[in-house]
Structure 1
Amino acid sequence: MLDEVVVYERPQSLEECATHYCPGCTHGVAHRLIAEVIDEMGIRDRMIGVASVGCSVFAYNYFDFDFVQAPHGRAPAMATGIKRVLPDRIVMTYQGDGDMASIGMGEIVHAAARGENITVFFLNNANYGMTGGQMAPTTLPGQQTTSSPKGRDVETQGYPVRASELLSTLEGASYVVRRSLH
């Protein structure tokens, strides 16, 4: 008689459904990791997520806790308002590079500088993935995209925004870390 050993269980903080993400996309991996930590900490009933525009907007379909949608780039501002109205809640944003490092750069910089008590998950795939893979503010030098087929040329297109490094220089940001999902 063999004993059954469970090696994977779906985190309770994830809905039981298939995702729509493209093959190779790391959103699903990020969802699972975030959900596992929320479950381990026992905070699901206190969570409120804020999703913004881009592929990250679909996060509310996959997490099993309260989620709202913010206008493009405004997730940190919306998360700030929610946290101030509901200080006992744990508020997180889930944003991509087009949303956070482009139109939302001012929002995230000022939220970090104020030391807002929110958590921001920033998924950087270095292109505008939802709209065809165009160059984004975080596209690396030489990286090819649909709008920079010869690669990002820093002489004409400038250098990429290094959002994590920028935020880490702000006194109000309490913890900034960069990790790779692959």
Structure 2
Amino acid sequence: MKTTASVVIRIIIWIILIFGGIALSLYLDLKYFKSLLFNPYFHFITLILGFFALKLAFHAAAVGGRELKRKGRDGDIPRLETNRLVTSGIYECTRHPMLFGLMLLPLGVALFLGLPSFIFFIAPLEAFFIFIMVITLEEKEAYIKFGDDYLKYKEKTPLFPKTKECFKKLFFD
């Protein structure tokens, strides 16, 4: 697969976040939350919640990804890259729909697996880390790539969706 180093590094970071979160949580849960870890009622509830959280996360990522694939690529460029600023569709509601959805991924995995430490401590920290990555790396890269056009887009489009219609478009359309 032809892609850039930046994309490869982000994929590696995602793998580390998910599998590192699972490993750390198993360690902490076996040490401190054994009764909750082995509680079938807890697992039943978290499994259902996790399924829905994962569905929302992947749907949001797919909505943003489809829009970028259709409108953000011109010519032969590396996979998962764009060379056109997309400001329509879901990108009218939020500048980073894919990453907003993927912020739910650690929580979805944590709930699906029923790992208390991951649910209550690690997943929120990972979501915060993802948010920081977005506002530092993604915003900077977008500005470098698209310049003043991105600044104009940034002025009128929020980082995350703010209206009911935008949330619906991101998670349910």
- What TM-score do you get using the length of structure 2 for normalisation? 0.30
**Higher helix proportion, which one?**
2
Greater strand content: 1
TM-score of the superposed pair, with normalisation by structure 1: 0.29
